[in-house]
Structure 1
Amino acid sequence: MFKKKVDINSDKIDTLIGEGTEFNGKITATGIVRIDGKIEGEIDTKGDLIVGEKGKIRANAKGKNITIAGEVYGNIECTGKLELMPSSKLLGDIKVSDLYIDSGATFQGNCEMSEDSNENNKKFKENRDKNIDKHKTVKRGKEDKEEGKGEDIKASEDNKTKKGKDTNKSNK
Structure 2
Amino acid sequence: MFGNSKQKASSRIDSLIGLETKIVGDMIFSGGLRIDGEVVGDVTAEEGKSSTLVISEKARIRGTVRVGHLVLNGTVEGPIHASQYLELQSKCQVHGDVFYSTLEMHPGAVVGGQLVHSAADGRHAQKSLAAPEERVIESAMQ
Aligned partner of 1:34 in structure 2 is: 34
**Cα deviation, residue 54, structure 1:** 1.1
Aligned partner of 2:69 in structure 1 is: 65
Are 2:92 and 1:88 aligned? Answer: yes
Aligned partner of 1:17 in structure 2 is: 17
Counterpart CA distance in 2 for 1:51 and 1:92 is 16
Per residue, is there more strand in 1 or in 2? 2
Percent same amino acid at aligned positions? 30
Aligned partner of 1:149 in structure 2 is: none
Asked if structure 2 preserves the Cα contact closer than 8 Å seen for 1:32 and 1:45, the reply is no
Pick the structure with greater CA Rg: 1
Asked if structure 2 preserves the Cα contact closer than 8 Å seen for 1:6 and 1:69, the reply is no
Counterpart CA distance in 2 for 1:16 and 1:6 is 17
Q: How many equivalent pairs are there? A: 110
Asked if structure 2 preserves the Cα contact closer than 8 Å seen for 1:33 and 1:45, the reply is no
TM-score normalised according to structure 2 size? 0.72
Asked if structure 2 preserves the Cα contact closer than 8 Å seen for 1:62 and 1:76, the reply is yes
Asked if structure 1 preserves the Cα contact closer than 8 Å seen for 2:14 and 2:32, the reply is yes
Counterpart CA distance in 2 for 1:6 and 1:57 is 20
TM-score normalised according to structure 1 size? 0.60
Runs of 4+ in structure 1 off by over 6 angstroms are none
- Where structure 2 has 5 or more consecutive residues not aligned to the other structure, the ranges are 4-10, 122-142
How big is the alpha-carbon RMSD for the aligned residues of Structure 1 and Structure 2? 1.9
Q: Say which structure, 1 or 2, has more relative contact order (CA 8 Å, 6+ apart).
A: 2
